[in-house]
Structure 1
Amino acid sequence: MSRVRVLSYNVRYDNRHDVHDAWHERREGVTDVVRFHRPDVVAFQEVLPNQRRDLRERLSAYTLVGRGREPGDEGESCPIGVRADRWAVADHGTFWLSPTPDEPSAGWDAAHPRIATWARVRPAAGDAADDGASFLVANTHFDHVSARARVESARLLDSRVPSLAADDGADVADTEETPPVVLVGDLNCTPGSEPHAVLTDGGLRDAAAAATVRHGPRTSLTDYAGLIENRRIDHALVSPAVDVEAFGTLADRDDRGRYPSDHLPVLARLWLESIGD
């Protein structure tokens, strides 16, 4: 088995109207959180192209993959980073949360195009993790306006993610031969909502509910100065073979004494079984 730490973080897009909470004031705080907690996998949401460049520059220990949701790699992205000293990206891709998922598009009355980025992660050659588990991580950001879009996006992920995990030839129906799956992101809905239920009824488990140890606030939204209560909309969901050791909502503040984003990052400590274990 392999112990894997996965962090999901909506970092808030670079909005010039944010004034003292503009990206250039927050980016060191965002990347300090990642460098301090040193997750094996980090998944970001709301990342514009200039922010991707900043993250690559400041998080050079990570291999970062993912594209923007607009044609030409523009617009917000949901990039995934893996620690290059332990892991390698075997394959990756992005699809759109719409009826036409293989092309830039918006669907189901969504206010914006929405995407999911995925990566098949394997142990890095020559590392101590080399005999560990390979797994699929998917990262997404559901629409904030359309309730229908959130439900349909969950249904699309429920049908598409298992096939991506089993692309090595395993039978989708054979969970013992399918690599473990970790789905993270800002779902813009709380536990118990219909989109969340679609995913958990489909076989994934909410890591916060399954965790042996639970830490941190029961919300994941901030106004930079304080917490917005009872709004845990940032999630980590895992397939049945994944053992959830701990789940935390990280309330780290930056050196200004403010939260580095209008979301708190969530961190899941997981144990993943290798196929055939």
Structure 2
Amino acid sequence: MLKVASANIRFDNPGDSPNDWSGRRELLSRLINDFTPDILGTQEGREPQLKNLESLLPNHKLIDLNRDWIEERMYPCIFVNSEKVDVIDSGDIWLSQTPFEAGSKSFESAFPRLCTWIQARVIETGKDFFYVNTHLDHVLGKTRKEQIQVLITEIKKLNSLSLPIILTGDFNESPKESVREVISKEWSNLFDPWEFLGKAEETSFHKFDGTHDNGCRIDWILADKIFQARSIEIRKDHEGEIYPSDHFPVFAEFNY
């Protein structure tokens, strides 16, 4: 079994108090540690916050060997349980017209956006796969379409062995919109386990109160059809007014 988690951890913003990073990191890390994912994809967060999260996840290692951190940038990241997953290669792709220029942006994106990836092996089964984690623009739909196209184009080049893919992230739109249409056209073998398992749509983004009347499921886990979906859920745990983030984490289990 392969356990996958995706979580927008919200950047370290003192103005979020009591839901600033110091107020919620223990709750977030406890949720993750209780699920014990083999792979965790996070979105948002700068290097100090992400390294702090790593210190709270004793079973997980942050994969950043092929990254030169830019202080002001927020990064999607990959954490792996090294006892379950062996990382063969890794890297970042900036979702711009110059995808290997760190910090670059195009397509009217509000901020530089990127994806991060690993080529990896499930230790127990010896099966290889490609995992990609991303965070798309939060303003313009046309920008997100261009960004996901860059992601797909560059991952196709890197994934020369055509290994099965898992794609996670904060896509900043529902799976009924244009980004999913592009993915379906380019990677028709990827499915949404949420839909496959017949789950009712829920809101994954909220405003530190657990609700968002106009929200939708913008945090997805997609997988190649070779992965057999066992379960998927949006965890809505909180402790009074304290939430793990302004997004709820998504946890999924696959047979592979």
TM-score normalised by structure 2 residue count: 0.91
Equivalent residues of 1:135, 1:165 under 8 A apart: no
- Distance 1:187-1:67 versus aligned 2 partners, 3 A rule: farther
Where 2:173 maps in the other structure, the secondary structure is: coil
Q: 1:33 aligns with which of 31, 34, 41?
A: 31
Q: Deviations over 1:210-261 (max 9, x none)?
A: 23x648x6110122222214410001111232222222111121x3453211
Give 1:196 deviation, angstroms: 1.6
Equivalent residues of 1:68, 1:75 under 8 A apart: no
Structure 2 letter corresponding to 1:184: T
Structure 2 letter corresponding to 1:7: A
Q: Could you tell which deviates more after superposition, 182-191 or 51-60? A: 51-60
Equivalent residues of 2:67, 2:91 under 8 A apart: no
Residue 200 (str. 1) matches residue 184 (str. 2): yes
Give 1:164 deviation, angstroms: 2.5
Q: Which residue of the partner structure matches residue 275 of structure 1?
A: none
Structure 1 letter corresponding to 2:192: D
Equivalent residues of 2:54, 2:62 under 8 A apart: yes
Q: Distance in 2 between matches of 1:67 and 1:97?
A: 20
Matches within 5 A, 1:163-182: 163-166=157-160, 170=161, 178-182=162-166
Q: Distance in 2 between matches of 1:73 and 1:165?
A: 29
Unaligned runs of 5+ in 1: 171-177, 273-277
Q: 2:20 aligns with which of 19, 22, 41?
A: 22
Q: Distance in 2 between matches of 1:144 and 1:66?
A: 24
Q: Which residue of the partner structure matches residue 221 of structure 1?
A: 205
Q: Which residue of the partner structure matches residue 156 of structure 2?
A: 162
Structure 2 letter corresponding to 1:192: K
Q: Distance in 2 between matches of 1:190 and 1:109?
A: 20
Q: Which residue of the partner structure matches residue 92 of structure 1?
A: 90
Give 1:263 deviation, angstroms: 0.3
Unaligned runs of 5+ in 2: none
Structure 1 letter corresponding to 2:122: P
Structure 2 letter corresponding to 1:161: I
Residue 119 (str. 1) matches residue 118 (str. 2): yes
Give 1:71 deviation, angstroms: 6.3
* Root mean square deviation of aligned Cα: 2.1
Q: Which residue of the partner structure matches residue 3 of structure 2?
A: 5
Q: 2:126 aligns with which of 132, 149, 172?
A: 132
Equivalences, count: 252
Equivalent residues of 1:69, 1:75 under 8 A apart: no
Q: Could you tell which deviates more after superposition, 112-121 or 153-162? A: 153-162
- Distance 1:68-1:134 versus aligned 2 partners, 3 A rule: closer
Q: Distance in 1 between matches of 2:66 and 2:169?
A: 16
Equivalent residues of 1:143, 1:149 under 8 A apart: yes
Identity across aligned pairs (percent)?
30
Q: Distance in 2 between matches of 1:67 and 1:28?
A: 26
Q: Distance in 2 between matches of 1:108 and 1:71?
A: 23
TM-score normalised by structure 1 residue count: 0.84
Equivalent residues of 2:164, 2:226 under 8 A apart: yes
Q: Which residue of the partner structure matches residue 64 of structure 1?
A: 62
Q: Could you tell which deviates more after superposition, 178-187 or 255-264? A: 255-264
Structure 1 letter corresponding to 2:110: A
Q: Distance in 2 between matches of 1:67 and 1:198?
A: 30
Q: Distance in 1 between matches of 2:64 and 2:135?
A: 13
Q: Distance in 2 between matches of 1:220 and 1:154?
A: 20
Structure 1 letter corresponding to 2:84: R
Equivalent residues of 2:39, 2:80 under 8 A apart: yes
Give 1:101 deviation, angstroms: 0.3
Give 1:62 deviation, angstroms: 0.8
Give 1:74 deviation, angstroms: 4.6
Equivalent residues of 1:98, 1:106 under 8 A apart: yes
Q: Distance in 2 between matches of 1:143 and 1:94?
A: 17
Q: Which residue of the partner structure matches residue 175 of structure 1?
A: none
